C-alpha cells in the first residue's frame, strides 16, 4: 500500500503550565523507579512487544487494528473525553515515558503533547497521523465554512481510488496548519490516510513485524473504504436541499463535506468544545436554523445538551441527544460508538433517522 513520507514534526514551545506543579513532581518521582515498573500499559521489556501510546480514542482504535498482538497499547484519552482540554495524569506521563512510539493526530489538536513529552522523558518515535492526508485539501475544506452540497461533492464514491488520495509529498509547508480544523478523522477517506501513516511508523519502529502491520492496515483500509461507500449511498437517498445539519461545535466538517451535507452552524462557534457562545452567536444560529429549515440539532457525546435544548426550544426544532454523535471521542466499551467504524455507522444512522430516512443495514464487513 502506498506510503506518504514521514518527518518528525517540529516541536511547539513547551507548555509546562498545563501539567501543574503537583503533576510534574509526581511524574518525576514515578520516573525514578520507571526501569522496574511495567507502567500503565502493562508491558515489560521481556515480552518483546512494541510499547505504543496514542492520544485520542480514534487513534487508539486505529493502532489496535493495525498493531494487533504485536503492540502493548495505551490510550491517553478515555471514552467521552476531549483532546481540546485534556490534562495528562502522572500515570499517563509514566506510560508515555516508557513507550517506544507516540501516535498523535497533529493538525494543531493536542496542545498538551510537547509539555507531556518533555516531562515524561519520552524519546521514542512520534507518528503524526495527519501527515498521511493532504493538508492543503483539509485547509481548503476548512476555509469553505462547511457549506457542502451534494451536486459538487469533491469525490465520487463510485469511482474513487482511495489509495491514490493518500500518496502525497508532505513538505515542510504542510506542517503550518494555521486555521485548520483538526477533526480530520471524521472523514473515512481521510482516516484511510491516517491509518497508512500509523502503519508506516509502526513498520519503521518494529521491522520484525512490518509485514504484519502492513497486512492488517491493508485489511482495515478496505473496511474503511466500504464504510465510506455505504455512508455515501445512504446520504444519496436524501434530497440535497434537505441535507442541512447543526452540531454542538464545528467537529464534523470533513464528514459533512464528503457526503454533501450543508453546515448551518454550531452551538459553540469554534473547533473546540469548550468555547462560549455570545448572545449574538445564539441569535445568529437560531436565524440560520430557521432560514435553512434545519430539522434537528445534534449534540456530540463530549458535550452537555443543555444549551442545545435551550436553542432548540427557541428555534422550534428537536435536539438529538439521547443518541449522541461520536465526534471528538469514541464511546464507552459496549456502546455503538466503541470503535471508529461503529461510531461512524452510528452517526450516519442517527442523522438519517432525524431526517426521516432509515439507513440500509451496514455491510457484513463493517460488523464488529
- Residue-wise pLDDT for 43-89, tens only, equals 344 478 999 999 999 999 999 999 999 999 999 999 987 776 788 89
Calculate helix-pair angle for 90-97, 113-120, nearest 10 degrees: 70
- Residue-wise pLDDT for 254-267, tens only, equals 999 999 999 988 88
What is the pLDDT confidence band of residue 270, given thresholds at 50, 70 and 90? Answer: low
Query: Which residues on neighbouring strands pair with residue 103, listed in sequence order?
Result: 54, 127
**Residue holding cell 441569535?**
283
The closest of 340, 304, 320, 70 to 191, measured between CA atoms, is 340
Task: Please check whether residue 182 is in contact with residue 271, taking contact to mean a CB–CB distance below 8 angstroms.
Answer: yes
Those residues whose C-beta lies under 8 Å from the C-beta of residue 310, and which sit 6 or more positions away, are none
Instruction: Sketch the domain layout of the chain as residue ranges.
Output: 16-228, 234-366
DSSP letters spanning 227-290: HHHHHHHHHTTS-GGG-EEEEEES--HHHHHHTT-EEEEEEESSSSSS----HHHHHHHHHHHH
Helices within the chain (DSSP H only): 21-31, 57-67, 90-97, 113-120, 135-143, 188-205, 210-235, 253-258, 279-292, 306-315, 340-354
Q: Quote the cell numbers at residue 279.
A: 448572545
**Residue holding cell 476555509?**
143
pLDDT at residue 230, rounded to an integer: 98
Query: Residue 226 burial (CB < 10 Å; 0-12/13-18/19+)?
Result: middle
Number of neighbours of residue 2 by Cβ within 10 angstroms: 12
Task: Please check whether residue 200 is in contact with residue 3, taking contact to mean a CB–CB distance below 8 angstroms.
Answer: yes
Task: Please check whether residue 130 is in contact with residue 106, taking contact to mean a CB–CB distance below 8 angstroms.
Answer: yes
Number of neighbours of residue 326 by Cβ within 10 angstroms: 28
pLDDT of 325 above 50: yes
Query: Residue 117 burial (CB < 10 Å; 0-12/13-18/19+)?
Result: buried
Mean pLDDT across the chain, nearest whole number?
80
Task: Please check whether residue 205 is in contact with residue 58, taking contact to mean a CB–CB distance below 8 angstroms.
Answer: no
pLDDT at residue 320, rounded to an integer: 79
The closest of 65, 107, 113, 108 to 88, measured between CA atoms, is 113
pTM of the model: 0.79
Mean pLDDT calculated for residue range 132-149: 80
pLDDT at residue 82, rounded to an integer: 72
Q: Quote the cell numbers at residue 237.
A: 437517498
Fold matches, 16-228 and 234-366: yes
CATH superfamily to which 16-228 belongs: Nitrogenase molybdenum iron protein domain (3.40.50.1980)
pLDDT of 10 above 60: no
pLDDT of 14 above 90: no
Please calculate the CA angle 205-175-185 and round it to the nearest 5 degrees.
Answer: 70
CATH architecture of 234-366: 3-Layer(aba) Sandwich (3.40)
CA distance 132 to 192: 8
Query: Which residues on neighbouring strands pair with residue 243, listed in sequence order?
Result: none
pLDDT at residue 166, rounded to an integer: 39
What values do phi and psi take at 262, rounded to 5? -75, 140
- DSSP tag of 4: -
CA distance 142 to 191: 17
Amino acid at each position: 500500500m502506498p506510503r506518504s513520507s514521514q518527518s518528525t514534526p517540529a516541536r511547539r514551545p513547551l507548555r509546562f503550565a498545563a501539567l501543574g506543579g503537583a503533576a510534574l513532581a509526581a511524574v518525576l518521582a514515578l520516573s525514578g523507579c520507571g526501569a522496574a515498573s511495567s507502567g500503565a500499559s502493562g508491558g515489560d521489556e521481556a515480552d518483546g512487544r512494541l510499547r505504543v501510546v496514542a492520544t485520542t480514542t480514534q487513534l487508539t482504535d486505529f493502532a489496535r487494528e493495525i498493531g494487533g498482538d504485536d503492540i502493548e497499547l495505551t490510550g491517553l484519552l478515555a471514552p467521552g473525553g476531549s483532546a481540546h482540554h485534556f490534562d495528562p495524569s502522572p500515570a499517563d506521563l509514566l506510560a508515555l515515558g516508557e513507550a517506544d512510539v507516540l501516535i498523535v493526530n497533529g493538525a494543531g489538536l493536542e496542545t498538551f503533547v510537547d509539555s507531556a513529552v518533555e516531562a515524561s522523558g519520552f524519546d521514542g518515535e512520534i507518528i503524526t497521523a495527519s501527515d498521511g492526508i493532504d493538508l492543503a485539501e483539509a485547509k481548503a475544506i476548512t476555509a469553505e465554512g462547511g457549506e457542502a452540497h451534494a451536486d459538487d461533492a469533491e469525490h465520487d464514491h463510485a469511482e474513487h481510488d482511495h489509495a491514490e488520495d493518500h500518496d502525497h509529498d508532505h513538505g515542510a509547508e504542510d506542517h503550518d496548519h494555521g486555521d485548520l480544523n483538526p477533526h480530520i478523522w471524521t472523514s473515512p477517506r481521510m482516516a484511510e490516510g491516517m491509518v497508512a501513516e500509523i502503519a508506516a511508523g509502526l513498520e519503521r519502529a518494529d521491522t520484525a513485524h512490518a509485514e504484519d502491520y502492513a497486512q492488517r492496515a491493508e485489511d482495515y483500509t478496505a473496511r474503511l473504504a466500504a464504510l465510506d461507500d455505504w455512508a455515501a449511498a445512504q446520504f444519496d437517498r436524501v434530497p440535497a436541499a434537505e441535507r442541512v445539519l447543526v452540531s454542538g461545535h464545528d467537529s464534523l466538517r470533513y464528514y459533512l463535506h464528503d457526503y454533501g451535507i450543508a453546515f448551518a452552524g454550531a452551538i459553540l462557534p469554534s473547533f473546540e468544545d469548550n468555547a462560549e457562545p455570545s448572545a449574538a452567536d445564539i441569535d445568529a444560529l437560531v436565524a440560520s436554523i430557521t432560514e435553512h429549515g434545519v430539522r434537528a440539532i445534534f449534540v456530540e457525546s463530549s458535550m452537555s445538551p443543555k444549551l442545545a435544548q435551550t436553542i432548540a426550544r427557541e428555534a422550534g426544532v428537536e435536539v438529538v441527544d439521547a443518541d449522541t454523535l461520536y465526534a471528538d471521542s469514541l464511546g464507552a466499551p459496549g456502546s455503538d460508538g466503541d470503535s471508529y467504524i461503529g461510531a461512524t455507522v452510528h452517526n450516519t444512522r442517527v442523522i438519517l433517522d432525524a431526517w426521516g430516512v432509515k439507513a440500509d443495514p451496514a455491510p457484513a464487513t463493517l460488523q464488529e
